[in-house]
Amino acid sequence: MSENLVGDNISTKNAGWKFSGEMVKDFEEHVKKSVPLYNEGHDIILKISDYFVKD
């Protein structure tokens, strides 16, 4: 199985990756760079959830 480097110290193998180990600590920085408007979307979700989740 070949290994692909996707950036930020994250690598994948075809069919069978796991969200664990070193990938976990580098994932958030990687997704911020890889997903357009990730931070903005995250902020919107937090604001919307405040409406539905009551203390």
- Residue 47 corresponds to which amino acid? K
How would you classify residue 42: left for phi > 0, otherwise alpha for psi between -120 and 50, otherwise beta? alpha
- Residue 33 corresponds to which amino acid? K
The neighbouring-strand residues paired with 5 are: 11
Residues 44 and 10: their CA atoms lie apart, in Å, by: 27
Tokens of 20: 């664990």
CA 15, 19, 22, 28 dihedral sign is positive
Report whether pLDDT(24) > 70: yes
Mean pLDDT of 30-46: 93
Residue 22: predicted pLDDT: 78
Residue 15: predicted pLDDT: 65
Q: What is the pTM of this model?
A: 0.53
